[in-house]
Amino acid sequence: MSGAHPLLSLKDIKVTFGGVRALKGVSFEVNPGEVHCLAGENGCGKSTLIKVITGVYKPEEGAEFLFDGKPIAAMTPTLAQSLGIQVIWQDLALFGEMSVAENIGFQLAVNGKYGLIDKRAIDAAAEKALARLGVNLDIHQPLKDLPIAQRQIVAIARALVGEARLVFMDEPTASLTQSETDYLIEIVRNLSASGVAVVFVSHRLAEVLEISDRMTVLRDGSLVGVYPVEGMTQSRVTELMTGRNFDNAVIATDHDDAPVVLSVRNLTRHGEFSDVSFDLKRGETLGITGLLGAGRTELALTLFGMRAAHSGEILLEGKAVSFGSNRDAIRAGIAYLSEDRLSLGLNQPQSIADNLVMASLDRILSGGLISPSRKAKVVSRWISELGVKIGTPDDPIRTLSGGNQQRVAIAKWLAISPKILILDAPTVGVDVGARAGIFEIVRKLAAEGLSIIVISDEAPEVYFNTDRVIHMAEGRFQAVYDPRQISLTELESAVYA
């Protein structure tokens, strides 16, 4: 092949779902070996474009599709694979019950390349792909036992089993911590250096600017433009994506006179966190930040009744509580939005409406049965309060874009009218505009008296959106910061040190 033409070239791609025009005539080009960012707000059509390129969806009449300079009349997933086009999907699309090796070598098994399923060939392919990433994993353990970050690695390894020439990564870093992200960026650079083109979708603009050579920006199903990344700034990208500008400002205020809602005293779970103490006041928003293994999620799960503390105390409005399960915690008015919404937070095949009322069923019962009119009322209230973009509430939740799914996950918890809302990585996979929207909601809820804990590994997120920031590392609270008395740079150097 020659470098004279793009590796992939698409023109006039149109896709419509029911009444939704997801792509309205988009062009897209990728050069051999480049790292290309596909950027745009939630629901602008990024994943849909990737699905067209990989033959999952067929574009409407009139599209032009060239790969390696040659026209492709009808792309299919099998053809895409044989051309070396690989995808790491937003939801990873892995199989929990299968082993790491089976997940990675899946295509070999399906293609029957080694006759009937040849376990040794699959193991060897898995070992090789992981070695190429410089990762050491027990390939025989079931995938469901791995943390998200390692599942991500498995998904990448699977993409490398075939002879990849073009790899799509749809939000690969969404559930990774800073150091894991740095590691993935390294992997992407290596792939690109070895001649593999990578198309990268991410809502973390800093990382997009660090990693990409060029970017294509989509807005509402249309092409905004194609830009070199050099000289590009985050605020310029934001403007291109949204047509608006977002200014960050510290919102921290004092809550000295407000009553304490939650008191945590010397809470300890061996090996996870120790000696954690803090008070959360009515209407206060508390940020907890720190790196992987800091114990933030473990602490949240303990507050939510899903794990038991070994020592220490939790007091709700002054009374010591002990939760046997998350049901007890929910009954006491604690809501927890999990960091892993795709597998834990939402039930993908179920409808938007069913997901939304999942935690608050007791509120919509009438004579022991679900009252359709109460359910519809709850659903329409929260869909409109959180500005969720949907077709109808009966559509399966998986038809929503990632950011809109996240809003439904938050709505599900707001529907129980909690006293305390714990948001664990609430903006993972959520675009800048929607992030601002989510924190506007957080501010509004706090002003109404809800006490909120925001857990995030993005220091700016807690810095600009909470009243106090706790830095957690190795299971302990290291320091508490008032965003009004410290600069963002100081906070970042403390947390990422």
Ligand X SMILES: Nc1ncnc2c1ncn2[C@@H]1O[C@H](COP(=O)(O)OP(=O)(O)OP(=O)(O)O)[C@@H](O)[C@H]1O
Amino acid at 179: S
Q: Is 351 in the site for ligand X (CB under 6 A)?
A: no
Distance CA 181, CA 173 (A): 6
Residue number with CB closer to Mg ion (354 or 431): 431
List 99's β-bridge partners, or say none: 142
Distance CA 345, CA 134 (A): 31
The minimum distance between CB 3 and ligand X, in angstroms, equals 30
Residue number with CB closer to ligand X (406 or 466): 406
45-64 mask for Mg ion (x: CB under 5 A)? --x-----------------
Q: Is 295 in the site for ligand X (CB under 6 A)?
A: no
DSSP 59: P
Amino acid at 272: E
Q: Can you say whether residue 479 is alpha, beta or left, with left for phi > 0 and alpha for psi between -120 and 50 degrees?
A: beta
The minimum distance between CB 155 and Mg ion, in angstroms, equals 15
Q: Both tokens of residue 295?
A: 């114990």
Cβ neighbors of 343 (< 8 A, separation 6 or more) are none
Instruction: Render 203-247 in DSSP notation, one character per residue.
Output: S-HHHHHHH-SEEEEEETTEEEEEEESTT--HHHHHHHHHSS---
The minimum distance between CB 39 and ligand X, in angstroms, equals 9
The piece of 44-52, 116-124, 204-212, 327-335 that touches ligand X (CB under 6 A) is 44-52
Strand duo 35-39 + 197-201: pairing: parallel
Residue number with CB closer to ligand X (50 or 146): 50
Q: Is 17 in the site for ligand X (CB under 6 A)?
A: yes
Cβ neighbors of 149 (< 8 A, separation 6 or more) are 175, 176, 177, 180, 292
The piece of 39-47, 99-107, 336-344, 488-496 that touches Mg ion (CB under 5 A) is 39-47
Rg of the chain, C-alpha, whole Å: 23
Question: Residue 399 binds what, of ligand X, Mg ion, none (CB under 5 to 8 Å, by partner type)?
Answer: ligand X
409-448 mask for ligand X (x: CB under 6 A)? ----------------------x-----------------
Distance CA 226, CA 233 (A): 15
The piece of 44-52, 123-131, 231-239, 355-363 that touches Mg ion (CB under 5 A) is 44-52
Q: Is 478 in the site for ligand X (CB under 6 A)?
A: no
Distance CA 173, CA 149 (A): 9
Q: Is 427 in the site for Mg ion (CB under 5 A)?
A: no
Helix, strand or coil, per DSSP, at residue 256: coil
Of 326, 296, 329, nearest in space to 418 by CA: 329
Q: Is 202 in the site for ligand X (CB under 6 A)?
A: no
CA-CA distances (angstroms) from residue 138 to 129, 135, 151, 233? 13, 10, 12, 41
Chosen residue from 33, 43, 55, 290 binding ligand X by CB under 6 A: 43
Residue number with CB closer to Mg ion (47 or 99): 47
List binders of ligand X among 61-90 (CB under 6 A). 90
How many CA atoms does the CB half-sphere of 367 hold within 13 Å?
A: 2
Position of minimal CB gap to Mg ion: 47
Size of the site for ligand X (CB under 6 A): 18
Residue number with CB closer to ligand X (349 or 368): 349
Residue number with CB closer to Mg ion (43 or 162): 43
376-415 mask for ligand X (x: CB under 6 A)? -----------------------xxxxx------------
Size of the site for Mg ion (CB under 5 A): 1
Residue number with CB closer to Mg ion (81 or 202): 202
Chosen residue from 33, 40, 345, 475 binding ligand X by CB under 6 A: 40
Cβ neighbors of 184 (< 8 A, separation 6 or more) are 152, 156, 172, 173, 176
Residue number with CB closer to ligand X (285 or 401): 401
Residue with tokens 């067209």: 52
Burial of 248 (0-12, 13-18, 19+ CB in 10 A): middle
The minimum distance between CB 60 and ligand X, in angstroms, equals 14
The piece of 15-23, 206-214, 253-261, 415-423 that touches ligand X (CB under 6 A) is 15-23
CA angle 109, 91, 35 (to 5 degrees): 90
Residue number with CB closer to ligand X (47 or 178): 47
Backbone angles phi, psi at 157, to 5 degrees: -60, -40
Residue number with CB closer to ligand X (305 or 402): 402
Q: Which residues bind ligand X (CB under 6 A)?
A: 17, 20, 22, 40, 42-48, 90, 399-403, 431
Q: Kindly list the residues in this chain that would bind Mg ion in the complex (CB under 5 A).
A: 47
